[in-house]
Copies of this chain bind each other. A is one copy, B any other.
């Protein structure tokens, strides 16, 4: 099949300093729907248009950040194959039992070279979106509740060894490189955008000395006008904004970066390219990232916070 193997970002587990404050934020401001709570006290959420049972999981902890990120694969057989391939590449993997995450089958977890917990899974209950699969209506009130993104779209992770990650993701997991940035005065890749579909990115990495750092989780909006609406709703709710509205030159996405109540960065974005692997990646120099507008088309600077503030 044309689209198989690793399909899409399936879930991300984020740590909240105050769980209920976090739930209130992701539910009422971002506009996700709470779909369950488990006996560990974790809270599960999804967007109005997602079909899977959940895409965001919140857990209370003493420090913010990301526990793990999981990608859905096309079948249990593919899960087995990828598990072996990851082991052959040299990583230890472990199986988390079905049900450890609500409504989710077995997951294969491993630590990628940037230090992040990464997992694959083949099974999660399809609960459907707000408009259903049969003669769906073109609009639903849920699509106007809070910022109301369409989907959890991707994450950007910071850590060491991004070029090892590039090898793992492209040669083992079936991702492909859509865009990259080379470090100043070198041809060494320091930032990667990787796709497992024809999205501009399903995951991205930036080289950073500290392992397992979380930069942001991104949520997709329908339009540039919805990005402005997101800014307005952030203003009404006193959400601190890091950057935007602006457009990234990289991926062409219209964007706002902001922080959740625990200090985890999230992105509300729209648009972006729809590239194909045979095009080859778009190459950005370090200057292209900054003054070339790779990060910020409008300001054309390398925002300090983009490089340094992670959780």
- Name A's B-contacting residues (CB within 8 A): 1-8, 51, 72, 74, 126, 133-140, 144, 151, 173-176, 195-199, 222-225, 228-229, 231-236, 241, 244-247, 249, 252, 254, 256, 271, 274, 276-285, 287-288, 292-294, 297-300
Contacts and interface: CB of A to CB of B under 8 A. Distances in A.
B231 A1 contact: no
A280 B128 CA distance: 10
B274 A247 contact: no
A5 B2 contact: yes
A50 to B, nearest CB: 10
Contact of A74 (B244, B274, B278, B288): B278
A280 B198 CA distance: 19
26 contacts: A1-B174, A1-B175, A3-B198, A3-B277, A4-B4, A4-B277, A126-B278, A134-B283, A134-B288, A135-B249, A135-B283, A135-B287, A136-B249, A136-B282, A137-B235, A137-B249, A138-B293, A139-B229, A139-B232, A144-B144, A225-B225, A231-B298, A232-B247, A232-B297, A234-B298, A256-B298
A74 B277 contact: yes
B126 A279 contact: yes
Contacts of A234: 298
Given A126-B280, A138-B247, A235-B298, 17 more contacts: A1-B174, A2-B174, A3-B3, A3-B197, A3-B277, A51-B279, A134-B284, A135-B294, A137-B236, A137-B293, A138-B231, A139-B232, A222-B271, A225-B225, A231-B246, A231-B247, A234-B298
B197 A278 contact: no
Contacts of A282: 133-134, 136
Nearest first, the 3 A-B pairs at minimum CB distance are: A135-B288, A139-B232, A2-B196
Contacts of A135: 249, 283-285, 287-288, 292, 294
B241 A299 contact: yes
B235 A293 contact: yes
A174 B5 CA distance: 13
Contacts of A281: 133
A24 B288 CA distance: 26
A2 B277 CA distance: 10
Nearest to A256: B298
Nearest to A249: B138
B176 A298 contact: no
Contacts of A8: 198, 276
B7 A4 contact: no
Given A5-B1, A197-B197, A138 B297 contact: yes
A280 B52 CA distance: 12
A228 to B, nearest CB: 6
Contacts of A276: 3, 7-8, 72
B175 A233 contact: no
